[in-house]
């Protein structure tokens, strides 16, 4: 039996493709974070859920921060990619912007990944004191702001939106969405997904000078 420096049975581990093992651990970590929180999540819990040993988890990720940050990156990458693909399939600028806001206010939740906002709250808290985690958070924010700004500039080019600084608008809209998401994640009864969507789109329509019908609210909130 071949052991590495961490005591991991490397020969047995190689029987499963490395990428598959790594992703299984990351998915397990996501569910552990959702259940226990970032701070209380333990490598032993992740290993148990993934059906492997703590030593193998350490072999792949070295530290708990690396493991949990990469797990959230996996979920965020998937969430963002699906959101952008959905937005790109919509032909008009108002619809594309509405899709971004809807995707953030009412994230699609399945058995693969937990509620993304519960993960984000832990990421925000951790990023206050851990620079590496903060860099990941900043990367995610820049990405979503960019998607919003592109939707705005496309709408302005089509004459649908009034002139305004697209980057500043994106920063303001995402900050509003983040604040609403915190209330939803904490279970505030006054802030449900339909309310959050209505407030965010109200801000967008007022700032960009378009009329929003609000027709999507009832259908979208029913999927939450």
> What integer pLDDT is reported at residue 201 of this predicted model?
95
DSSP 88-130: HT--SHHHHHHHHHHHHHS----SSS--HHHHHHHHHHHHTT-
Structure confidence by residue, pLDDT tens digits, 56-108: 999 999 988 888 888 888 888 888 888 888 888 898 999 999 998 988 888 76
- In the structure, what pLDDT confidence band is assigned to residue 218 with cuts at 50, 70 and 90? very low
Structural domains of the chain ordered from first start: 1-62 (1.10.10.60), 64-222 (1.10.357.10)
Kindly state the DSSP code that residue 214 receives in the 8-state scheme.
-
Structure confidence by residue, pLDDT tens digits, 18-54: 678 899 999 999 889 888 888 888 999 999 999 999 9
Structure confidence by residue, pLDDT tens digits, 100-133: 898 888 876 665 676 677 777 777 877 878 787 7
Q: Which region among 102-106, 164-168, 189-193 has the lowest average model confidence (pLDDT)?
A: 102-106
> What integer pLDDT is reported at residue 43 of this predicted model?
93
pLDDT at 4 over 80: no
Mean pLDDT for 193-209 is 94
What's the first-to-final CA gap in the chain, in angstroms?
Answer: 49
Rounded CA separation 148/158 (Å): 16
């Amino acid at each position: 039996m071949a052991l590495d420096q961490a005591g991991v049975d490397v020969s047995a581990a190689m029987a499963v493709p490395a990428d598959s093992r790594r992703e299984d651990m990351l998915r397990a970590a996501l569910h552990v974070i959702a259940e226990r929180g970032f701070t209380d999540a333990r490598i032993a819990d992740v290993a148990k859920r993934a059906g492997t040993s703590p030593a193998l988890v350490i072999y792949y990720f070295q530290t708990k921060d690396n493991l949990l940050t990469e797990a959230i990156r996996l979920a965020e990458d998937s969430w963002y990619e699906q959101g952008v693909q959905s937005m790109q399939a919509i032909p008009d600028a108002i619809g594309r912007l509405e899709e971004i806001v809807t995707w953030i206010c009412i994230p699609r939740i399945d058995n693969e990944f937990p509620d993304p906002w519960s993960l984000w709250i832990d990421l925000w808290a951790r990023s206050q004191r851990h620079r590496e985690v903060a860099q990941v958070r900043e990367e995610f924010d820049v990405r979503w702001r960019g998607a919003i700004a592109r939707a705005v500039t496309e709408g302005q080019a089509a004459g649908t939106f009034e002139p305004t600084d697209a980057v500043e608008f994106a920063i303001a809209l995402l900050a509003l969405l983040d604040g609403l998401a915190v209330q939803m994640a904490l279970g505030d009864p006054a802030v449900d997904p339909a309310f959050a969507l209505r407030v965010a789109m109200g801000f967008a329509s007022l700032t960009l000078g378009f009329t929003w019908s609000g027709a999507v609210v009832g259908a979208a909130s029913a999927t939450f």
